[in-house]
Amino acid sequence: MINQIKKFLRPFVSEKFIIWTHKMRAIIAALYYGYPAKRLKVIGVTGTNGKTTVCHLVDAILEEAGFQVAMATTIDFKIGSNKVVNEYKMTTLSPFLVQKFLRDAVSAGCQYAIIETTSHALIQNRVWGIKYHGVVLTNITHDHLDYHKTYGEYKEAKILLFAHNPKFSVINADDEAASDFSKMIAGKTYLYGLDNKSDITARKVIMEPNGSLITVITPDGQIPINLNLPGKFNIYNALAAVSVGFAEDLELTTIKKALEKIKGISGRMEQINCGQDFGVIIDFAHTPDGLQKVFETVKNMTKGRIIHVGGATGNRDKTKRPILGSLAGRYADIAIVTDEDPYNEDPKVIIEQVSEGVVRGATKDNPKKLGENFFKILNRKAAILKAISLAKHGDVVLITGKGAETKMAVGENQFIPWSDRQVVEEALGKKN
């Protein structure tokens, strides 16, 4: 009922008024819970891709150093040793839930709280009243243009996280927006990257199918790290986390030990092995840049074919749908387009928009023919089953868009239980 009322009133209410009401809620929430952020060192991580992974890496580093840590991300909430799945289908929660989370973290004796902080949350003042101790930028690429309209507006929303003089800021030097973020005042700014001049970088990089061997270079020395997360993008994620550890004066040996303990992150390049002779990977990639990086990583670790299952979300940026499709057409040997949180849009329409991109993205060396190596399957479970049935020795089935999510949005406020992992395991059980 509340959502229907909000939908009815929306055309009659200005965006400024809506943002004002969000701020009022945030002020009340902070007052009600007693400004808990004042008793924590809060680290905010923002960017288009990599936020969740960076949060988990930073959490591991701080815990290895002996701190009690709370963390709120797209996939989970953690306070000390207690962890629960994020069931809200929202990365940064509403002000009351954020402030309650921080109050609970204080009550549990946490010294740090890591918050995955989105552009929506910053614009809508969901994190008002939180004085960030440190802030991190992963990257800024095409996303959320349904809300922000332009890349410039999207970037300015992200910059809000850096606007209140944190003790430190950590910025990806190789991102085109780095110079804009570097101008923001902070106690200390640390740049990380592989290509441009950086404070924290990696050399002697050896990339392998299941991870990378890197030597991390810092102003205080260098140390080799065996990273168990595949892909160049995960080297960037690791460098961001190292930079946070360095900013907090932690020993490089502590940082190394923490990163090497991590074997994987749920729904992020997650490999599922049930004894089959081909690979299966599920990943949250839902932006053009994120999906391209995942495809490039999988291509380098695959001897056989890439069988891709993916689509696009309803009620979100429509401009990226054909782009996502074109990447599947270009990189996948077999492309299966399916539904992915259609919300109240017609999933058939979304699938057609993605499929247009598949056809355009196909190359002479990798053409797509409907019914042979290109399929449109409305039911996501049927699409995954089809991919598994087609897989042979040495192939990789890559399933993107939902990662570790536990719900699928099938209406304005209608959700059904969902798990890509569970569907895959059932399919592999039948095939084996």
How does pLDDT run across 24-59, given as a tens digit for each residue?
Answer: 988 999 999 999 999 999 999 999 899 999 999 999
pLDDT at residue 201 is higher than 70: yes
Alpha carbon 394 to chain centroid, angstroms: 28
Mean pLDDT of 406-413: 88
| Average of per-residue pLDDT values in the chain | 91
Q: Are residues 257 and 280 in the same domain?
A: no
The whole-number pLDDT of residue 184 equals 92
**Torsion angles phi and psi, residue 205, rounded to 5:** -80, 125
Among 298, 284, 399, which Cα is nearest to 49's?
Answer: 284
Domain count, the chain: 2
Q: Which neighbouring-strand residues pair with 282?
A: 270, 399
Same domain, residue pair 388 and 405: yes
Position 1 in a domain: no
> Is the model's pLDDT at 366 over the cut of 80?
yes
**Residue 359 is part of which domain span?**
270-431
The rounded distance, in Å, linking the Cα atoms of 400 and 214 is 27
Short-list 47, 52, 40, 42, CA closest to 77: 52
Mean pLDDT, residues 145-163 taken together = 73
In a domain, 5, yes or no: no
Q: Mean pLDDT across the stretch 75-98?
A: 86
Vertex 403 angle, CA 245 and 158, to 5°:
50
Q: What is the mean pLDDT of residues 155-170?
A: 89
Q: Please tell me the predicted confidence (pLDDT) of residue 432.
A: 64
pLDDT 10s digits, 315-351: 888 999 999 999 999 999 999 999 999 999 999 999 9
Q: What is the pLDDT of residue 71?
A: 98
| pLDDT range class, residue 62, cuts 50, 70, 90 | very high
| Residue 385 is assigned to a structural domain of this protein | yes
pTM for the model stands at 0.91
Q: Residue 254's domain is classified under what CATH number?
A: 3.40.1190.10
Same domain, residue pair 380 and 417:
yes
Q: Is residue 149 part of a domain?
A: yes
Residue 138 has pLDDT above 90, yes or no: yes
Q: How far apart are CA 125 and CA 19, in angstroms?
A: 7
Question: Tell me, what's the pLDDT at 38?
Answer: 97
**Which pLDDT band holds residue 5 (cuts at 50, 70, 90)?**
very low
Same domain, 276 and 358: yes
Cβ pair 41, 113 in contact under 8 A? yes
pLDDT confidence of residue 1: 44
Say yes or no to pLDDT of 144 above 50. no
